[in-house]
Copies of this chain bind each other. A is one copy, B any other.
Amino acid sequence: MDFRLGDKSEVLRKEAREFLREVLTPEMVEECYRTGVMHNVEFTKAMRDKGWLAPGWPVEYGGQGRDPIEILALSEEMARAGAPTYGIGTTMMIAWVINMVGTEEQKREILPKALAGDIVIALGFTEPENGSDAAAAATRAVQSDEGWTINGSKMFTTNAHIADYVFMLARTDPDAPKHRGLTTFLVPMKQEGVEVQPVFTLSGERTNITFYNDVFVSDQWRIGEVNAGWRVMSVAFEREHSAAFVGEQERLLDHVVAWARETPGEDGLPRIEEAGVRERIGRAATEIEVSQLLQRRTAWMSTVDLPTHMKGSMSKLFSSERLERQAADFVEMLGPDGVRGRGDPTAPANGEIEHALRHSKGTTIYAGTSEIQRNIIAQHELGLPRPK
């Protein structure tokens, strides 16, 4: 066994840290907080210049051909620093889908722009009436002359307000079984009939609800075969080995430890000398190690072509649940000062711990709720009957 990520990953990690120190200015971070938007054009261009928009793509497609373990080191550092990578993530995910199943024309049109950091693609999977059950999408796409007319709405279309396209899952055959009547489209956002309404959230992040009212999409922007949308979705997710939050956990602990070292308790000693504080910090450090190992395992498994589905669920479940618990626990540990909010000059650790409390609550919900992850693990890892 070897638990080292390997030299290439460590070199990349070091490079990422240097890059972040240089490029990710406090102003940029502050702007993310202020606007609630985790996308920044300047940052994206800097990432492009490093070749880090598509580090895992094969070189022949414009990537760097890095393996999933290297990418893990990179993305862990990005998350730990709170870098605005969300828009990059969704854009490149869909660019890859187009690379895999798109037409030559689609590739020509989209890939260079995506790789240049010139466009943003948002995801349109979730709808107001379906959350965990994405295949229940009700947004309709009806075929008309050389194209499709789309009617419906999508929920949590984060970045839609700055996006060039929404990658949409729409129902094209209402009579087919629910997974078999779906088709995916790349819907250009700058057109008649598309409406974007902001949705503000507990963490301060901005997302959107988007409405599509007789929106015409030329058949050119249909991605994949008609009624094969669910298969296309699986291509989108096949490179997502897990959505863990190790970087976020590390960032939180960094702030907490700094606070505990510099803040005196009632006896005048730094609070890190207290038994209870030591215990809580040590437990979090341990859970982070476990989160990291579970996440690294899924990345490693994909390098040796093992299926990562259940193991990815474990990684996501554990990391997000523990992040949430840690944030709640640490806010309480701060004592009354824990209620001082991000944005207040008196907040401990610049309000990062308080913000983590609010931010973390979303992590057990999006990208598959904890309940969905447990269903997957129970059924596919433990072989239990499909939970009802």
Contact = CB atoms under 8 A, between A and B. Distances in A.
A177 to B, nearest CB: 23
Contacts of A275: 274-276
Contacts of A388: 388
Interface string A369-388: 00000000000000000001
A275 B280 CA distance: 14
Interface in A342-388: 388
Contacts of A279: 276
A188 B127 CA distance: 65
Nearest to A279: B276
A interface, over-half SS = helix
Interface string A263-282: 00000000000111001000
A69 to B, nearest CB: 37
A274 B274 CA distance: 11
A385 to B, nearest CB: 12
A4 B275 CA distance: 39
A353 B97 CA distance: 60
Interface in A274-300: 274-276, 279
Interface string A91-123: 000000000000000000000000000000000
Contacts of A274: 275
Interface string A202-237: 000000000000000000000000000000000000
Contacts of A276: 275-276, 279
A308 to B, nearest CB: 30
A275 B276 CA distance: 8
A275 B273 CA distance: 13
A333 to B, nearest CB: 13
A274 B276 CA distance: 10
A281 to B, nearest CB: 14
A272 to B, nearest CB: 15
A161 to B, nearest CB: 38
Nearest to A387: B388
Interface in A112-141: none
Nearest to A388: B388
A241 B274 CA distance: 45
A253 to B, nearest CB: 21
A189 B220 CA distance: 83
A99 B274 CA distance: 62
A387 B279 CA distance: 38
A388 B388 CA distance: 6
A267 to B, nearest CB: 11
A127 B42 CA distance: 70
A275 B278 CA distance: 13
A139 to B, nearest CB: 28
A292 to B, nearest CB: 26
A287 to B, nearest CB: 18
A265 to B, nearest CB: 11
A279 B280 CA distance: 14
Interface of A: 274-276, 279, 388
6 closest pairs, A vs B, by CB? A388-B388, A275-B276, A276-B276, A275-B275, A274-B275, A276-B279
6 contacts: A274-B275, A275-B275, A275-B276, A276-B276, A276-B279, A388-B388
